[in-house]
Chain A
Amino acid sequence: MKLGIVTGRVISTHKVESFEGLKLLLVQPVDENLENAGDPIVAVDTIQAGTGNLIYYETSKEASRVLETLMNPCDAAIMGIVDELFVKNQK
């Protein structure tokens, strides 16, 4: 799982049928210092995360298990909102 910051929401009305009713959020991957760590991705949200939240997300086929119908494809899903992040100073 990786850390990310929700930067926006993606509204899509014309999409594959299995995405119907799913909330799609724009996520900027960040590292432990909250610096950008890759290109933004679109992830399915099932826990009502909002813009600005620091979240953690899972990718690959695993992500689709958060959706009711197992055979429902998605490759990135938000798993939770971070309340506190403790990082031991590296240097």
Chain B
Amino acid sequence: MILGKVIGNVVSTISAPGYESKKLLLIQPIDPDGKPKGKSFLAVDAVQAGVGDFVITLDEGNSARSILKEPNSLTIKLVVAGIVDEISL
């Protein structure tokens, strides 16, 4: 799973079937010290994360579908699976 910070979100009314009710978050991957590292990406929210939250994002289709209880026909890979309270090194 990927450590990241929610830096924004996307509002979209025209989308592929199955995405209508989904909340799309813009995630900036970070290193464990919180510094940005790598390119941002979009993920479907499953834990009501908000902008500014540190989160863990799951990056695999079948797991994403089982988290969201979606059928096999939904194209999905990235799901925000948890909000990070603390990282102890």
* Chain A interfacial positions (CB closer than 8 Å to B): 1-3, 31-32, 37, 46-48, 56, 58, 60-66, 70, 77-88, 90
Contacts and interface: CB of A to CB of B under 8 A. Distances in A.
A70 B75 CA distance: 11
B41 to A, nearest CB: 6
Given A80-B19, A87-B7, A88-B7, A65 B14 contact: no
B11 A65 contact: no
Interface residues of B, number: 30
A65 B75 contact: yes
Nearest to B9: A86
Interface of B: 7-16, 19, 24, 26, 28, 36, 39-43, 51-52, 61, 72-78
A20 to B, nearest CB: 20
